Amino acid sequence: MPDLNQIPATIPGYDPESMPLDAALAAIRSPLTPVDGTDTVALRDALDRMVAADIISPIDVPAHDNSAMDGYALRSADLREDAESRLALVGTSLAGHPFDGALRAGQCVRIMTGAMMPSGADTVVMQEVVSIANERVIVPAGQKHDANRRRAGEDLARGSVALAAGRRVRAADLGLLGSLGLREVAVRRRLKVAFFSTGDELGTAGDTLGTSSGPLRAGQVYDSNRESLHGMLTRLGCEAIDLGIVRDDPAALELAFRKGVASADVVISSGGVSVGDADYIRPMMERLGEVLFWKLALRPGRPMAFGRLANAGKHALLFALPGNPVATMVTFYLLVRPALLALMGQRDVDLPMLPALAQQAMAKRPGRTEVLRGVIELRDGEWRVRTTGAQGSGMLSSMSQANCLIVLEHERDEVKAGERVEVLLFEGLV
C-alpha cells in the first residue's frame, strides 16, 4: 500500500477539514488492494464469499446437443420448403434416456425437453404443429433449420471462465458451479474488521475494556453503534471483532487501537472524532499512523477520519466514524462499505442509484452532500419517495423505519415537491 501522504497531491482542492464525498471516496479507494490469503470451502459454504481466482469450466454445459422443447427431432435435409413432409417415427429420446442409434433419411424421433439430440438430427419441430397419419409424422412446410436445438457448450464452453475473480458468489452461482460438477470453491479469506465505540457516556450489558456493566448511570445511554456495526459487517461477510466500549482516556484508546491493528485488517471506531475536549481519536491516529482527512462535506457524518495505523510492524486501515447513530450508519454505507468490499476483492462495489419523485420539499444548501432517511414506494407507475420525518442524526428509529437513503448532491439547492432525487435502496445494502 502506498504512503497515504502521497494521495492529497492527486485530489483537486484537497481540504482535510471539508472533503467532498466524491473526493473522499476516490482518496479512500486509491491505496486499496485486496487482502492476501484464500480458503477452499465446500460449494454451499461459498455463498456470499469472494471468488479468489477465475473458475474455469472443466466441461461443456450442456454436455451434448439437446432439445429446447417437446417435439420431434429430424434431419432438416428431409424437409420440403413448399409442401408438408412425411417422416417415419423410429423411436423416442427422453431426458437421461437417449435414442440409441442414428437417424437415416426420412426418419424422425419423438423427443422431450432436455433430451439428447439423436445422431444425425439437427432440428426439433414442436409437437403442436405436427400431425400423425398412417404411422407417419406429418411436418408442415416452413420449418427452420436448427430450430429448438440447444448446442453443447452454448451455456458454458469447456475452458471458458464460469465465474471471474472478485465476484461475490450468489445463489445462482452455486447452481452454475454445481452444474460443472464442482464441490469445492477457492475464495478469498474473510476480511478481519475490529470495531469499538468510545465515550464515558456509553453503557452496556457487558463489561468490556474497562466499561462498567449493569443499569445506566445518570447521563449514560446504551451503546447502539456496535450492534449496528456488527450487523453491517456480518452482512458483508467480514469477520467482525468486537473490542467493546473504550473509555474517554488516551491510554485506553491507544490500547484499543493497538489491539485492533494486531488482530484485524481494518479498525472502525465510532465517536470521538469531533473537536470536543474529550475527543482523542484524531491526535491518536496522527501519533500511531497517518491521517488523510478528518472532516467531510457531508450531513450527517461531518466528523469522520480516514487513515492508517501501525503497530509492531503491522498495519491496518482506520475509519473513525461519528458517534451519532445515524451518522455512523450513513458514513459506513457511503464510504466504509465500498472500501471493505474492495479489500475483499470484489470488483463491483457501487450500488445503483434509483431516480424517484420527491413527495415533499426538502431543505438543502449547496456545498455539502446531504443524506435523508426515506420511504420509497411505487405509485401510479412512478417511484416516489418521502422522508421518514425528523432527521436528527441521533434518531436511530428513522433508520429503522426507512427503506432507502435520499442522497442530495454536493452542489444541489433545496428540493421542491415533484423534483427528481437520487435514492440508494436499502435492499441489498442492509
DSSP label at residue 408 = E
**What residue type is 286 in one-letter code?**
E
Sorting pLDDT into bands at 50, 70 and 90, what band is 2?
Answer: low
Residue of higher predicted confidence among 344 and 213: 344
Q: Is 50 exposed, middle or buried (0-12, 13-18, 19+ CB in 10 A)?
A: buried
Per-residue pLDDT at 45 exceeds 60: yes
Rounded Cα gap, residues 256 and 248, in angstroms? 12
Residue of higher predicted confidence among 6 and 77: 77
Sorting pLDDT into bands at 50, 70 and 90, what band is 299?
Answer: very high
pLDDT of residue 208: 45
Sorting pLDDT into bands at 50, 70 and 90, what band is 5?
Answer: confident
Rounded Cα gap, residues 150 and 152, in angstroms? 7
- CATH fold for the domain made of 353-425: Beta-clip (2.40.340)
DSSP label at residue 210 = T
Where in the chain are the domains? 4-36+189-343, 40-61+154-188, 66-150, 353-425
Sorting pLDDT into bands at 50, 70 and 90, what band is 281?
Answer: confident
For residue range 207-266, list pLDDT tens digits in order. 444 444 567 777 788 889 999 999 999 999 999 999 999 988 889 999 999 999 999 999
Instruction: Detail the DSSP E strand segments found in 143-283.
Output: 149-150, 161-163, 184-188, 192-198, 202-203, 221-222, 239-246, 266-270
Among 65, 51, 251, smallest CA distance to 164 is for 51
pLDDT of residue 136: 94
Mean pLDDT value across residues 272-276: 69
Other Cβ atoms within 10 Å of 93 Cβ, number: 24
- CATH fold for the domain made of 66-150: Molybdopterin biosynthesis moeA protein; domain 3 (2.170.190)
pLDDT of residue 430: 53
Per-residue pLDDT at 206 exceeds 60: no
pTM for the whole thing? 0.86
Among 157, 188, 259, 149, smallest CA distance to 36 is for 188
| Residue range 40-61+154-188 in CATH 3.90.105.10 | yes
Phi and psi at residue 415, in whole multiples of 5°? Answer: -100, 135
- The residue behind cell 474517554 is 248
Select 4-36+189-343's CATH number: 3.90.1300.10, 3.40.980.10, 3.30.465.10, 1.10.3720.10: 3.40.980.10
pLDDT of residue 9: 78
For residue range 89-117, list pLDDT tens digits in order. 999 999 999 999 999 999 999 999 999 99
Mean pLDDT value across residues 292-317: 93
Per-residue pLDDT at 81 exceeds 70: yes
Sorting pLDDT into bands at 50, 70 and 90, what band is 286?
Answer: confident
Q: Do residues 424 and 405 touch, judged by C-beta distance below 8 A?
A: yes
Longest dimension (CA), the chain: 99
Rounded Cα gap, residues 322 and 269, in angstroms? 8
Q: Are strands 192-198 and 266-270 parallel, antiparallel or unpaired?
A: parallel
Mean pLDDT value across residues 159-172: 95
Q: Do residues 376 and 354 touch, judged by C-beta distance below 8 A?
A: yes
Rounded Cα gap, residues 275 and 244, in angstroms? 23
